[in-house]
């Protein structure tokens, strides 16, 4: 009764315009309860054949059956040991085997029993050691332990004894004999140690994608009339292909196979989910840098922003050139001119006191020249020059006023320029208001035909508050995006996903476990931001904090999923990190973070509209500064964009995973 049947399998790689044939019409049959070794020169296609058997690769034609069905349908009956260890480096030995125990839905008592037996068999090191601290041979033994932990009926082992010492190799072979003899287990093994092949019940020699010989080791030696398998290997590998083909042919192909029962798969398998989540938990907690990047970085950067940005500049020095009255030292702020002196006094000193003293440090100059000299040579931010006829101008009721207060400011410091302009302007208007009331001057003279009323943002409206509304979404988005990119690429490239899928875990389960992890992290980030913003820095939110919290959480999830998608899309780490950088740059320039969307170049506007942050920024700004509620159109649009992105990224990731799954290095 055979356990594995391979019928006329052809497989080739398509490298651009060149088709590279790897398997060239392979036929193979493995009896139940036997050990079958596959031998052949490096690159002859042994691993490819095993990959096809495990449904990792799909052959162009031919048929491969295990227990009369596709191997993917009966993952728990098979123990597959890949050539690459594909283990999570941060887990301990115990956690690694527990992980596989969970994936195979093993009961804890059975797992404990098996763990003890395997530890002894493979002479495993201390179970609390992390995989990354083990030697190559030790890692190989853990990989083998993970393969046999669930006591499978068929073992497919790709070079299981490589890097192991002679004693251990002997022990493993002894174990295989026991399993095949006592428990009717079947084993297919590839090896480069030809002497090992002598232990097998049957042995297959591969060359250039063809099985050129298949029989018991003794029968092969007899047929070739050769003493050792090493000589047989040399003989078969050096003879001309057509000669070999004639020498030996498989006699066993096409025998009856018995079918093993397929376990019904439940829709939700809590043990598997638990295994996936516990693995992630241990992996993350063992990497302090990772924890720092995920949890602390966005929050830390946000706090840093709140500390660093938006404070009032307190050391700005402005010069005064008062051409009307050069002797202003006699005035103080409280020393204002009484009503009865309105008509005879000059007001330039009072003006400079009111306008400048409150907001800036003041330096008096006698001439324009002196002020200009210091402006160029020292740290003077600018100077205000008051004309000779200042008082006359402000009281002039005609429309032919000539002369004006001139303000010279450093244009190179844009934010300080805006701040100074607005301070001087508003202080001037206040001064004129007050003076008009005190000296009974009519409204028109005050030169204030326009009044600015601040409808929204009655909070201390400043650059920090406006920027904060965008920063508190862009930082978590960027950080979660980068985090997902790093982690998923790392896990994929290490082959952990492939090995996990081969244990029978479904793609949806991997996605769900990642989603649970990312939602949890997002909630922690969002909560820390809200707490910091509110309780530590006292930055006010006019609307609902829960809405802001939900926006941050949603944006974190989009960031994660974007990173998830990119890391599946790109097979090389360099490509995925390049794409990640591009997204960060687009976030900075196209979403209204540093430049308003309203004045973006028309070329950029379409990118801005599809970027996941643009509309949530608007929603967040409106919630924080205007206090709008959930039913406001901007908030609805913000949440709609977030949800749309989550759905699009989830669906695209799923289909991309489906096409890529099981490809080499997945």
* Shortest Cβ 51–ligand ATP spacing (Å): 7
Q: Which of residues 74-93 bind ligand ATP (CB under 6 A)?
A: 83
Which of 43, 437 has the CB closer to ligand ATP?
A: 43
Q: Which of residues 13-32 bind ligand ATP (CB under 6 A)?
A: 13, 15, 20, 22
Size, binding site for ligand ATP by CB under 6 A: 14
* Shortest Cβ 194–ligand ATP spacing (Å): 12
Pairing of strands 317-322, 202-207: unpaired
Between CA 206 and CA 16 the distance in angstroms is 26
Which of 446, 664 has the CB closer to ligand ATP?
A: 664
Using the rule CB under 6 A, is 40 a contact of ligand ATP? yes
CA angle at 587 for the pair 480 and 412, rounded to the nearest 5°: 125
Which of 21, 32 has the CB closer to ligand ATP?
A: 21
- Please say whether the beta carbons of 95 and 286 come within 8 A: no
Q: Which of residues 315-374 bind ligand ATP (CB under 6 A)?
A: none
Using the rule CB under 6 A, is 58 a contact of ligand ATP? no
| The length of the chain, given as a count of residues | 666
* Shortest Cβ 39–ligand ATP spacing (Å): 9
Identify the residue whose tokens are 């000193």: 349
Which of 26, 284 has the CB closer to ligand ATP?
A: 26
Using the rule CB under 6 A, is 43 a contact of ligand ATP? yes
Which of 29, 48, 180, 622 binds ligand ATP (CB under 6 A)? It is 48
Tell me the C-alpha to C-alpha distance, in Å, between residue 581 and each of 32, 155, 578, 586, 598: 53, 44, 5, 9, 25
Cβ neighbours for 536, distance < 8 A, ≥ 6 positions apart: 303, 306
Which of 238, 329 has the CB closer to ligand ATP?
A: 238
* Shortest Cβ 23–ligand ATP spacing (Å): 8
Using the rule CB under 6 A, is 189 a contact of ligand ATP? no
Which of 446, 661 has the CB closer to ligand ATP?
A: 661
Which of 15, 412 has the CB closer to ligand ATP?
A: 15
Spatial CA neighbour of 203 closest among 31, 1, 9, 10: 31
Q: Which stretch binds ligand ATP (CB under 6 A): 39-47, 230-238, 262-270, 564-572?
A: 39-47
Pairing of strands 61-66, 78-81: unpaired
> What is the three-class DSSP state of 544?
coil
Tokens linked to 464:
């920090």
- Please say whether the beta carbons of 53 and 66 come within 8 A: yes
- Please say whether the beta carbons of 51 and 205 come within 8 A: no
Which of 18, 451 has the CB closer to ligand ATP?
A: 18
Identify the helix (H) or strand (E) that includes residue 53. Answer: helix 46-53
276 burial (CB, 10 Å; 0-12 / 13-18 / 19+) is: buried
* Shortest Cβ 18–ligand ATP spacing (Å): 9
Identify the residue whose tokens are 């599946």: 568
* Shortest Cβ 233–ligand ATP spacing (Å): 13
Using the rule CB under 6 A, is 204 a contact of ligand ATP? no
- Please say whether the beta carbons of 643 and 559 come within 8 A: no
Binding-site ranges for ligand ATP (CB under 6 A): 13, 15, 20, 22, 40, 42-48, 83, 664
């Amino acid at each position: 009764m055979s356990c594995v049947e391979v019928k006329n399998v052809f497989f080739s790689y398509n490298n651009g315009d060149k088709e590279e044939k790897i398997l060239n019409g392979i036929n193979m049959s493995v009896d139940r309860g036997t050990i079958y070794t596959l031998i052949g020169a490096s690159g002859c296609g042994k691993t490819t054949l095993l990959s096809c058997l495990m449904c990792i690769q799909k052959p162009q034609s031919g048929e491969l059956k295990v227990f009369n069905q596709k191997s993917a349908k009966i993952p728990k009956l098979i123990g597959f040991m890949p050539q690459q260890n594909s283990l999570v480096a941060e887990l301990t030995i115990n956690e690694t085997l527990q992980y596989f125990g969970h994936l195979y839905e093993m009961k804890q008592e059975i797992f404990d029993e098996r763990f003890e037996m395997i530890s002894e068999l493979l002479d495993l090191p201390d179970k609390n050691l992390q995989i990354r601290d083990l030697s190559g041979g030790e890692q190989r033994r853990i990989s083998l332990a993970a393969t046999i932990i669930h006591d499978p009926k068929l073992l497919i082992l790709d070079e299981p004894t490589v890097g192991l010492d002679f004693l251990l190799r002997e022990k493993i072979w002894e174990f295989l004999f026991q399993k095949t003899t006592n428990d009717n287990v079947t084993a297919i093994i590839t090896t480069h140690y030809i002497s090992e092949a002598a232990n097998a019940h049957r042995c297959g020699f591969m060359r250039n994608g063809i099985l050129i010989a298949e029989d018991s080791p003794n029968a092969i030696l007899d047929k070739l009339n050769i003493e050792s398998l090493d000589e047989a290997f040399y003989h078969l590998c050096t003879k001309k292909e057509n000669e070999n083909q004639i020498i030996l042919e498989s006699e066993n192909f096409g025998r009856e196979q018995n079918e093993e029962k397929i376990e019904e798969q439940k829709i939700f398998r809590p043990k598997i989910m638990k295994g996936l989540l516990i693995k992630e938990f241990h992996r993350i907690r063992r990497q302090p840098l990772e924890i720092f990047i995920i949890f602390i970085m966005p929050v830390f950067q946000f706090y840093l922003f709140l500390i660093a940005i938006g404070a009032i500049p307190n050391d700005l020095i402005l010069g005064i050139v008062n051409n009307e009255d050069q002797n202003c030292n006699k005035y103080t702020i409280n020393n204002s001119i009484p009503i009865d002196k309105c008509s005879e006094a000059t007001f330039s000193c009072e003006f400079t006191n009111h306008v400048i003293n409150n907001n800036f440090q003041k330096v008096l100059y006698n001439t324009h020249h002196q002020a200009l000299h210091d402006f160029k040579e020292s740290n003077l931010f600018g100077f205000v020059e008051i004309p000779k006829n200042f008082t006359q101008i402000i009281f002039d009721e005609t429309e032919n006023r000539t002369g004006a207060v001139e303000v010279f400011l450093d244009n190179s410091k844009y934010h300080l320029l805006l701040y100074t302009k607005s301070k001087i302007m508003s202080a001037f208007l206040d001064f004129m208001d007050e003076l008009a009331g005190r000296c009974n001057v009519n409204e028109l003279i005050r030169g204030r035909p326009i009044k600015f009323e601040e409808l929204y943002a009655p909070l201390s409206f400043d650059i920090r508050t406006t920027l904060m509304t965008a920063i508190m979404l862009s930082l978590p988005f960027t950080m979660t995006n980068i985090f997902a990119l790093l982690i998923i690429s790392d896990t994929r490239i290490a082959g952990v996903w492939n090995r996990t899928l081969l244990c029978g875990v479904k793609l949806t389960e991997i996605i769900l476990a990642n989603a649970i992890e990312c939602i949890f992290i997002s909630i922690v980030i969002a909560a820390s931001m809200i707490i910091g913003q509110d309780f530590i820095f006292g930055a006010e939110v006019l609307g609902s904090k829960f809405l802001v919290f939900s926006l941050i959480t949603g944006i974190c999830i989009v960031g994660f999923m974007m990173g998830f998608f990119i890391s599946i899309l790109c097979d090389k780490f360099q490509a995925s990190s390049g794409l990640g950088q591009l997204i960060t740059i687009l976030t900075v320039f196209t979403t209204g973070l540093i430049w308003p969307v309203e004045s973006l170049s028309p070329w950029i506007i379409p990118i801005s509209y599809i970027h996941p942050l643009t509309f949530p920024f608007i929603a967040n700004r409106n919630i924080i500064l205007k206090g709008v509620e959930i039913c406001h159109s901007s908030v609805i649009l913000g949440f709609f964009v977030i949800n749309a992105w989550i759905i699009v990224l989830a669906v695209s990731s799923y289909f991309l995973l489906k096409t890529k799954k099981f490809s080499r290095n997945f």
